Structure 1
Amino acid sequence: MLSISPSQLSFFEEKGYLVVENILNKEEIAYYRDIYEKFLTNQIDVQKYRSDLGSHAENDLFTLKQERITQIMLASRLFPELLDQPLHKKALSIAKQLLGEDMALDFDMLISKAPHSATATPWHQDRAYWITMPDTRSASCWVALDDATKDNGCMWYVEGSHKLPVRGHRPAGKGGGALECDASEEEGIAVEIKAGCCIWHHGGTLHYSRGNTTNNMRRAFITNYRPEAMIAYEREQGFDHSGERNVRDSKAKNQQDSLG
């Protein structure tokens, strides 16, 4: 398993993100690309958990009747074999080194930007999507299955933003469930990585990616981790990242429960 050095841990805690090289080798990349294709072409039934994160975009360059930013939630629920494969095993080991031995897999997902889809993922903080919890430790592992560049949608981060209060978020555009907040590339840093490498970021780290304006795919496999006790807490509130019950409903339930 990959080991995180003290200097890497310090960087992650200070900046709110961390690049880990070569979490997947060439054979493993090929395996995940094959599985990815089965998800995208519905050889694995994903319709319940599939959505277009780019549906907020209007009047952009992508005029074909297809998704701008394909999101498939809870990949390992749909294809449990993934839990026993290298990505999940290696990522869990790193999550424990970064945030503690009580880290566990909360959810996983696929986010793909098709060639020339040209739709940005808005600036946001993951924490804005989640219910309030007493322990906010969380981290996402963003694994590139293609070289991620500025032009095809690599990740951008605002360093240190995880140490500040969550910014005000609002729905992005008129459609879809994406949220956005005020931020810009001027305050961020682009992190280009090669296929097989990954980036970790805190749940409170501001991030964004440009649209894909290249001839190539930009496929990412994401796993998210938080304390096992907090995952149990989420589930008790009816929140499991599936979209079957939204955050607003869960918060309303919390308020009703607190009133007895």
Structure 2
Amino acid sequence: MADRNEPHSVSWPSAPSPREWLKTKPTAVWRETFRKDRYLVVEDLLTKEELEIYQGICTKMLEGEIDTTNHRHDLGNVEEQKQQHIENICQILWPSLYVRHLDEGPVHRRVEAIAQCLLGDDILFDHVMILVKAPFTDTTTPWHQDESYWPIVPDKRALMCWTALDNAVKDNGCMWFAKGSHRGILRAHTPVKEGCHVLTCETQENDEMVCVEILAGSCTFHHARTLHYTRGNTTNQMRRAIVTSYRPAAMLEEFEHAGHDHGKRGLKSVLLTGQTHGWQDKF
């Protein structure tokens, strides 16, 4: 195995600029769909070659060839570990810190162009993470609204893009959205377990839940107030995704001034618990 601490880099294939790529897409339809539902499916965000690059990087991180220990933990550690030496829900914050030029790829640049198309030209990249539900880990990500993690901001415009690196289906943990849930107030959220930073809220009888299955290389967008969740992975297939978030430039400046960096300095800056399942033991 290569040295896990050596520098890693990625070289991206030539592609149209994000703006040129966007000209070939039904942006008016996207804007209207997102305005109405506050979630959106974009098919074929990535080419086959681009997808394989992201898949390869993710595999190296999961296997430890790229050592992301300082930013890796089990987002599902509130439940008993389902598979030995494997996180229930592996979260790797800021993977771009470990691979040079990763943030120059389409999941950053192309998605930011879509985000600006949906919410305005002042919308910029905020943060990134990898989320993985390995086979038979069967751990749910509970219903929640992302805005619950930063409720006191003056500009509520924010959205997240969830890019599938594997085919995402109901039984391995694709996204579900509560259609129109953004129209109400931010719901009351509580930790899923005392001392845990993961939040959840109650669903309502009239919530219209929509299961959104997508192919690898496609993605979903949702507003920070859109209620969503994912089931656990009960299949023998991986479910890997890259999640990027976007918000107004002025809000990013406020976050920076407040010292809020979404864990860029390491896990201790965001976690209230030291519980992790021991995936490191296998190395």
Quick check: TM above 0.5? yes
Distance of 2:241 and 2:74 partners within structure 1:
15
What residue number does 1:225 align with? 246
User: Which stretch shows the higher mean deviation, 117-126 or 81-90?
Assistant: 81-90
Q: Which structure 1 residue ranges, 4+ long, deviate > 6 Å from structure 2? A: none
Distance of 2:67 and 2:250 partners within structure 1:
30
What residue number does 2:18 align with? none
CA RMSD of aligned residues (A): 2.0
User: Which stretch shows the higher mean deviation, 208-217 or 227-236?
Assistant: 227-236
What residue number does 2:133 align with? 113
The Cα of 1:4 is off from its aligned counterpart by: 4.4
Distance of 1:162 and 1:213 partners within structure 2:
29
Q: Which amino acid aligns with 2:238?
A: M
TM-score w.r.t. structure 2 length? 0.82
Contact 1:4 1:94 in 2 (8 A): no
The Cα of 1:238 is off from its aligned counterpart by: 1.2
Q: Secondary structure at the match of 1:18?
A: strand
Deviations, residues 2-48 of structure 1 (Å, cap 9, x unaligned) = 33422221111111100001000111111000010122123223112
Alpha-carbon spacing, 1:4–1:99, altered in 2? closer, same or farther (3 Å): farther
Contact 2:86 2:134 in 1 (8 A): no
**Among 132, 145, 150, the residue aligned to 1:125:** 145
Deviations, residues 143-199 of structure 1 (Å, cap 9, x unaligned) = 001110000000000011122111111111356421111127973110000011000
Q: Which amino acid aligns with 1:127?
A: E
Q: Does 1:23 align with 2:48?
A: no
In structure 1, runs of 5+ residues without a counterpart are 249-260
What residue number does 2:189 align with? 169
What residue number does 1:39 align with? 61
Alpha-carbon spacing, 1:110–1:53, altered in 2? closer, same or farther (3 Å): same
Distance of 2:183 and 2:33 partners within structure 1:
13
Q: Does 1:84 align with 2:77?
A: no
Q: Does 1:212 align with 2:240?
A: no
**Among 32, 49, 53, the residue aligned to 1:10:** 32
Distance of 2:269 and 2:150 partners within structure 1:
12
Distance of 2:110 and 2:54 partners within structure 1:
14
Aligned residues: 246
Distance of 2:122 and 2:116 partners within structure 1:
7
Q: Secondary structure at the match of 1:221?
A: strand
Distance of 1:77 and 1:131 partners within structure 2:
27
Q: Which amino acid aligns with 2:57?
A: I
What residue number does 2:9 align with? none
Alpha-carbon spacing, 1:52–1:92, altered in 2? closer, same or farther (3 Å): same
Deviations, residues 193-233 of structure 1 (Å, cap 9, x unaligned) = 00110000001110000000000000001111111111111
Contact 1:158 1:188 in 2 (8 A): yes
Contact 1:154 1:191 in 2 (8 A): yes
Distance of 2:32 and 2:116 partners within structure 1:
15
Q: Secondary structure at the match of 1:9?
A: helix
Contact 1:116 1:213 in 2 (8 A): yes
In structure 2, runs of 5+ residues without a counterpart are 1-20, 273-283
What residue number does 1:135 align with? 155
Q: Secondary structure at the match of 1:72?
A: strand
